[in-house]
């Protein structure tokens, strides 16, 4: 919440700072704007300054510095036009001040008002099953149909918020950082904004896993001198050879992002010391447009004359650019010191598109890159046009599309189609046309008859077989992967469900009238809660399928047409579900302190991450199981915080009772007689800890052990890990998270 400026603040100095930042914005723009555009930018700046004048950010600085900073990112780092800069300056005015869209349209124009509207969060009431974040994200995605600059400005807004996250509370930092890594970083990637995507990922990690982030950053710094010398020695012969062949170019080493290194450590189990590709060599060519491809391959030829390439690591995005327009040639070669090194070859035009994404597309309107992006946008519009699908489903499907690698598949006539890696024959059928997908019974892949679920590979040629008797069924959702296929199948199933539910609704209304009970929203809501249904549609559908027994209605007391349940499920009031949730959070937020006061709260520890005292934790209000306590680095934390931030409850450990908590450790080492005995002796003999289960598996002289163990807090766990690591023959000991899902 913003607060009013204090009288003690030096307003003179603040005004000078605001003017200075505004002049810096104009300098970033000066080559690209007309006098008329400059006048409109000035008006937008003055309107933003005036409307935000009594507002401050959590850091204490004047709020207007935020929209100026967003406008500067839009101009300088994205290279967008004057209209985008004006909208960036105004992006919070309608949401946070008295300014209306009508005023913006009168002062500027309809186009600017429409973009600002797209940047304004939606208002409304949401129940426990919906996600405010998802609804806002869907609204944002819908602007793809109108003006993609809305999304680009939103990404700039998110980037500045992430750069200034230090001043917020820890729970707010976690919520914003989780949402950023879950949705906004992949979106920046898909928009072709690689530099911004990388920074968003790194900043998200800085707040979600601060210790690991600092550890990687420190190790990178320690290795910097060694890395610089290696790059210099590696580049030297390349530079000489390329100059000898007459190329004009820049060549340099670029360190890999902290987030990409974290991914290898966390998800591939590679220790930092064994990650050799901590950097990539980038070659940027000065090349005429008609010679770009041949020049890039010429550079590749020169490189492979000096260093041996890895044939499995050649990536040709010259012939088939990525959907976001990315063009380059990537190869991995063996250095003279025995380390693999990635080299990226691209021209200046390709480099600008890689750094500035869509903005550069507008500048270079040519080649296949635009059509590929247009094709992707058309797919997304198809998914978004289905307004009957929940916002969470839309966001989940969209996110999968953002992250996916691509394969290229051909129709019987030789037309090229792009699909997600892992796509099946059924996905391909829906890609051709929704009607064909719904009737698909099989496919001929490279002339061989195969089932709907067959996973396609790069270069497959596919012919779809259909039948008018075929209709979509629920099993299809278990193997389709594209957003379009999932969306159409879900809609078809929902349409069928609605038809069946109509009979159930009719049966319920007949029964209610016979018992002189009003067919009202409040009565339906009470019945939904009594029968544990999450929507009226589910209630009617289960009545039609005889899974709900309407004879229960005979037992209810009826007062003036209203149902009175035997046990009250919801208080008889006009409160919305959203208000009930908010009151629950307010009531429990202060009480939910693990330890002395936790006995007043109904809570459980989440099995997906097994938190123990000393862990950084948060509470999550579930629909059926009360409050569940998760670690902040739980595998499910990012999704929960990004989708359901309003159900997150501040939680911390205070005094700890003498209670043991279950956690797991994983050990790897050299198989040796007596080692298991030494391990168990430390656990039960020296530290007096109880084990719930222990298992060891040996393969070619190397063993992996997993032990579920009861400890009192993180300090005791760390002490145990340190002692076990000190044993001869033990290579690694680490805590592991349960793979059970919440």
What are the φ/ψ torsions at residue 634 (nearest 5 degrees)?
Answer: -60, 145
How far is it, in rounded angstroms, from Cα 199 to Cα 158?
11
The active-site residue, picked from 95, 552, 590, 625, is: 95
Q: Which of 13, 96, 90, 19 minimizes the C-alpha distance to 54?
A: 96
448-479: burial string, b at 16+ Cβ within 10 Å, e else: eebebebbbeeebebbbbbeeeeebeeebeeb
How far is it, in rounded angstroms, from Cα 391 to Cα 250?
46
Can you read off the two tokens belonging to residue 203? 């900043």
How far is it, in rounded angstroms, from Cα 43 to Cα 141?
28
Q: Which of 151, 154, 168 minimizes the C-alpha distance to 206?
A: 168
How far is it, in rounded angstroms, from Cα 619 to Cα 631?
9
Question: What DSSP designation does 40 have?
Answer: H
- Cα angle value 528/531/532 (rounded, 5°): 75
Max Cα distance, the chain (Å): 95
Is the separation of the CB atoms in 705 and 695 below 8 Å? yes
Please give the full DSSP string across 450-501, using - where no structure is assigned: E-TTPBP-TT-BEEEEE-TT----GGGGGT--SHHHHHHHHHHHHHHHHHHH
Q: Which residues on adjacent β-strands are paired with residue 251?
A: 283
CA dist 139 → 98, 151, 189, 620 (Å): 22, 10, 20, 25
Torsion angle, CA of 23/27/30/33, rounded to 10 degrees? Answer: -50
How far is it, in rounded angstroms, from Cα 332 to Cα 309?
6
The active-site residue, picked from 43, 96, 105, 672, is: 96
Please give the full DSSP string across 291-304, using - where no structure is assigned: GHHHHHHHHHHHHH
Beta strands in 550-701 (DSSP E): 557-559, 562-564, 593-594, 603-605, 617-621, 627-631, 648-650, 652-653, 661-670, 690-699
Q: How many of the other CB atoms lie within 10 Å of CB of 16?
A: 11
If you search the block for the tokens 């779809």, which residue do you land on?
Answer: 464
Q: Is 579 a catalytic residue?
A: no
Torsion angle, CA of 176/178/183/188, rounded to 10 degrees? Answer: 70
719 Cβ contact partners less than 8 Å away, ≥ 6 residues apart: 687
How far is it, in rounded angstroms, from Cα 664 to Cα 541?
43
Q: Is 671 a catalytic residue?
A: no
If you search the block for the tokens 């078809």, which residue do you land on?
Answer: 492
What are the φ/ψ torsions at residue 608 (nearest 5 degrees)?
Answer: -75, -20
Active centre residues (catalytic)? 95-96
């Amino acid at each position: 919440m913003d607060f009013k400026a204090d009288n003690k603040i030096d307003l003179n100095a603040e005004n000078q700072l605001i003017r200075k930042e505004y002049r810096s914005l104009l300098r970033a723009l000066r080559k690209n704007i007309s006098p008329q555009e400059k006048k409109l930018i000035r008006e937008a700046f003055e309107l933003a300054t005036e409307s935000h004048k009594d507002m401050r950010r959590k850091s204490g600085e004047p709020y207007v510095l935020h929209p100026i900073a967003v406008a500067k990112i839009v101009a300088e780092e994205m290279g967008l036009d004057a209209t985008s800069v004006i909208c960036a300056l105004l992006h919070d005015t309608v949401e946070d001040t008295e300014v209306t869209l009508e005023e913006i349209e009168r002062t500027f124009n309809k186009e600017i008002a429409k973009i600002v509207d797209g940047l304004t969060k939606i208002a409304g009431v949401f129940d426990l099953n919906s996600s405010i974040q998802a609804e806002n994200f869907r609204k944002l995605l819908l602007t793809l149909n109108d003006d993609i600059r809305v999304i680009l400005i939103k990404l700039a807004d998110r980037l500045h918020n992430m750069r200034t996250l230090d001043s917020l509370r820890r729970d707010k930092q976690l919520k914003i950082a989780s949402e950023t890594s879950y949705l906004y970083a992949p979106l920046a990637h898909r928009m072709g904004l690689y530099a911004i995507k990388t920074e968003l990922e790194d900043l998200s990690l800085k707040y979600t896993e601060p210790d690991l982030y600092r550890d990687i950053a420190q190790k990178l710094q320690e290795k910097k001198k060694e890395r610089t010398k290696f790059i210099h020695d590696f580049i030297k012969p390349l530079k000489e050879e390329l100059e000898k062949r007459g190329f004009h170019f820049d060549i340099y080493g670029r360190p890999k992002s902290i987030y990409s290194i974290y991914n290898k450590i966390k998800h591939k189990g590679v220790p930092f010391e064994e990650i050799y590709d901590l950097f990539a060599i980038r070659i940027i060519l000065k090349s005429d447009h008609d010679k770009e491809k041949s020049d890039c391959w010429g550079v590749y030829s020169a490189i492979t004359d000096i260093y041996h390439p890895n044939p499995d690591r050649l990536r040709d995005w010259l012939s088939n650019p990525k959907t976001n327009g990315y063009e380059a040639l990537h190869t991995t070669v063996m250095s003279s010191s025995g380390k693999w090194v990635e080299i990226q070859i691209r021209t200046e035009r390709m480099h600008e598109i890689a750094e500035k994404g869509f903005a550069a597309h507008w500048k270079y309107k040519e080649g296949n890159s635009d059509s590929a992006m247009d094709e992707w946008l058309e797919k997304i519009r198809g998914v978004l046009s289905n307004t009957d699908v929940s916002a969470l489903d839309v966001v989940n499907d969209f996110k999968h599309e953002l992250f996916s690698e691509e394969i290229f598949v051909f129709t019987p006539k030789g037309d090229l189609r792009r699909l997600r890696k892992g796509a099946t024959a059924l996905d391909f059928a829906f890609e051709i046309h929704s009607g064909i997908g719904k009737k698909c019974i099989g496919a001929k892949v490279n002339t061989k008859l195969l089932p709907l679920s067959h996973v396609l590979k790069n270069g497959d040629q596919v012919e779809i077989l259909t039948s008018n008797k075929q209709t979509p069924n629920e099993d299809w959702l278990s193997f389709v992967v594209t957003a379009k296929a999932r969306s159409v199948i879900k809609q078809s199933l929902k349409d069928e469900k609605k038809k069946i539910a109509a009979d159930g609704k009719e049966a319920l209304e007949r029964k209610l009238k016979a018992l002189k009970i009003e067919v009202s929203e409040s009565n339906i809501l009470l019945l939904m809660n009594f029968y544990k249904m999450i929507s009226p549609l589910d209630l009617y559908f289960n009545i039609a399928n005889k899974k709900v027994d309407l004879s229960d209605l005979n037992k209810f007391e009826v007062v003036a047409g209203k149902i009175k349940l035997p046990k009250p499920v919801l208080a008889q009031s006009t409160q919305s579900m959203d208000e009930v949730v908010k009151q629950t959070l307010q009531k429990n937020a202060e009480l939910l302190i693990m330890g002395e006061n936790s006995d007043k709260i109904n809570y459980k520890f989440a099995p997906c991450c097994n938190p123990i005292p000393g862990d950084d934790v948060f509470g999550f209000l579930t629909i059926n199981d009360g409050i569940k306590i998760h670690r902040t680095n739980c595998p499910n934390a990012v999704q929960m915080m990004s989708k359901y931030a309003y159900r997150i409850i501040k939680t911390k450990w205070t005094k700890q009772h003498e209670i043991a908590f279950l956690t797991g450790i994983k050990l790897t080492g050299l198989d040796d007689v007596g080692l298991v005995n030494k391990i168990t002796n430390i656990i039960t003999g020296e530290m007096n800890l109880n084990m719930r289960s222990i298992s060891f598996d040996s393969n070619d002289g190397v063993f992996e052990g997993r032990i579920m163990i009861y400890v009192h807090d993180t300090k005791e766990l760390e002490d145990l890990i340190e002692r076990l690591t000190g044993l001869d023959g033990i290579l690694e000991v680490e805590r592991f998270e349960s793979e059970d899902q919440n």
